[in-house]
Amino acid sequence: MFYHKKRRVQTMKSAIQLLEAMWQQGKHLCVGLDPDLSKIPKAAWRGSDEATLVNFCCSIIEATGSIAVAFKANRGFFGSCGDSGVRALQAVIGFAHEKFPEVLFIVDGKWNDIGNSAEQYAREAFGVFPADAATVNPYLGQDACEPFLKHGNKLIFWLCLTSNTGAGEFQKHGNPPLFLHIAERISQYWNGNNNCGLVVGATHPEELAAVRKVAPELPLLLPGIGKQQGDIDASTKAAIDRFLMNESRSILYASSESDFAEKSAEAAEKTHQRILMAKSSIKEG
């Protein structure tokens, strides 16, 4: 059973430097770790919820880490298990850092609040969970976001346009739409520490292209491929470069049998190759 609690030896590289090194290797696949206990294969179970979460996620990490640019763990899938889930996520991050120290680890918590509450959320994201990056909600404005922004060696992915079908209810409201105002504002005014990125769903390739125009340098985290049927080719063309394309369920649950890790590696490799082909077609075009 995998159960590593060691933190990696601190690298001198910032989160954005880790990403840029991986992009130079042609890596753009972010492997999402959203472990649903009701879907985890029986072969991955190890007696308790905590041990099962660790074993399953570390098996996926070991199988896919050689082609991943990042791992992204959704906070809710661990937090819903209480204290044991928190311990499991800490152990998973420790294993990923030890096994693949150059691969970014993102905790997807979509945090934020005002004043000293935001300070505590930032401590959770980068202290309780020693993540390299976190997803954060910018809705409260820059002053509330400073506790995250001041972590210059980390990377903050601000929610811009989410991948769900109801995203447009608020995020596309206005002229210019809210998501585009967020992208432009963060790109121009918030990125003084070179540690800002944006979350933009791969289910919105046209809007993604508009975001890239106003935020040409920001890293883009693109969820929504796989089960949500985001368009890999269109999203790659719109993002151009400097992006992470996240796939979760299609990789995690590629098999319900004892070969789950092997099948997850095959699924990850397939998506990795599709991204490379999409980038190649852009260059040829």
CATH number for the domain that contains residue 144: 3.20.20.70
Q: Does residue 86 lie in a domain region?
A: yes
Q: Does residue 45 lie in a domain region?
A: yes
Q: Which single residue is written with the structure tokens 């049927």? A: 229
Q: Which single residue is written with the structure tokens 């691969």? A: 103
73: left (phi over 0), alpha (psi -120 to 50) or beta: beta
Whole-prediction pTM: 0.94
Q: What percent of the chain has pLDDT over 90?
A: 90
Q: Does residue 72 lie in a domain region?
A: yes
Given a contact cutoff of 8 angstroms between Cβ atoms, the answer to whether 6 and 48 are in contact is no
Q: How do residues 15-44 score in pLDDT, each as one tens digit?
A: 999 999 999 999 999 999 999 999 999 999
| Token pair in block for residue 221 | 């985290």
Q: Does residue 6 lie in a domain region?
A: no
CB atoms closer than 10 angstroms to residue 239: 24
Query: Is 72 an active-site residue?
Result: no
Catalytic residue among 13, 99, 110, 263: 110
Q: Does residue 210 lie in a domain region?
A: yes
Domain containing residue 199: 15-284
Q: Does residue 260 lie in a domain region?
A: yes
Q: How do residues 135-181 score in pLDDT, each as one tens digit?
A: 999 999 999 999 999 999 999 999 999 999 899 999 999 999 999 99
Number of domains making up the chain: 1
- What is the per-residue pLDDT for 8? 47
Q: Does residue 41 lie in a domain region?
A: yes
Q: How do residues 123-135 score in pLDDT, each as one tens digit?
A: 999 999 999 999 9
Angle between the N-to-C axes of helices 232-239 and 260-284, in degrees from 0 to 180, rounded to the nearest 10: 50
Q: Does residue 259 lie in a domain region?
A: yes
